Amino acid sequence: MHMKSAPKVALQTLQLIKLVWLRAKRHSVSLRAAHLTLASLLAAVPIITIVFGILRLTPAMVEMQDAFVQFVEQHLAPGSSDTVIPYLLSFSEQAKNLPAAGIATLILTALLLLNSFEGSVQAIWRVKRKRKIRERLLIYWAILTLGPLLLAVVMSLYGTILSYELKGVELPSVLSSIFGFGSYIIYFLLIFTINFLVPNAEVTLKLTAISAFFGGLGISVLNVIFGNFANFFANYQVVYGTFAALPIFLIWLQSTWLIILLSVSLNATLHKLNRKDQNHELE
């Protein structure tokens, strides 16, 4: 019985991969990832400024800011973050001195990035009905606030568990396992949040969780690949100097956006298949 079911599962998996690939190709996912990469470069400083502003709301979160920066340096574009992150943080600090009009422009730039991402998600889902501006702003604000708060909570738990380990306190095996997969859990939660909130359609928790699982796994693998090629990046920097960090960062950023959009394509395809019995035509 198991021998018969295995080929069937393999065939269904291949069919699912084909459907996801066709959806991604039809909606130009690679081109959209390139567009979001460019938009991210413009919105990086505004988003970091907003995130740090939220983390400064309470004294407890202020203490997490250094831990947050350290986490970003370790997981953002391995091989180039040592060069890119200091510049972004420096620009973010200078942004505090901007007048009200300048701050409003920074916020608008961040909102435009989220609007561009939402447009890509709705196109992949083939949703033609647009949200009202008020609903969009609420979702954008939820993403901009939930993301930093989620990271702050995770970093707080991370610090607590680490302090126990340094004191020699033996932790339960479950907590140790969670501690080991901390980075993946963050990727999963962030991708799950955007896959659940952004589509203007009926979304189920189970199918969104499946899509976020593979999306988080993809980003984890991507970071491992970039981390293992650190020596290659170092040789690249010998020729191009600090300028080498920019193309490396762009490759990582576009690959990350591509993985996120592929998880969106998977999520949309799974929901389409789930509604097959409701006379929805499969793509």
pLDDT in tens, 15-37: 899 999 999 999 999 999 999 99
Q: Is the pLDDT of residue 174 over 80?
A: no
Average pLDDT over the chain, rounded to an integer: 76
| pTM (whole model) above 0.75 | yes
Q: Is the pLDDT of residue 162 over 60?
A: no
Task: State mean pLDDT over 213-226.
Answer: 88
Question: Quick check: 219 and 259 in contact, CB under 8 A?
Answer: yes
Residue 73, Cβ density class (10 Å: 0-12 exposed, 13-18 middle, ≥19 buried): middle
In the structure, what pLDDT confidence band is assigned to residue 133 with cuts at 50, 70 and 90?
confident
Q: Which residue has the higher pLDDT, 176 or 116?
A: 116
Q: Cα(145)–Cα(51) distance, rounded to whole angstroms?
A: 8
Task: State mean pLDDT over 208-216.
Answer: 95
Q: Is the pLDDT of residue 54 over 70?
A: no
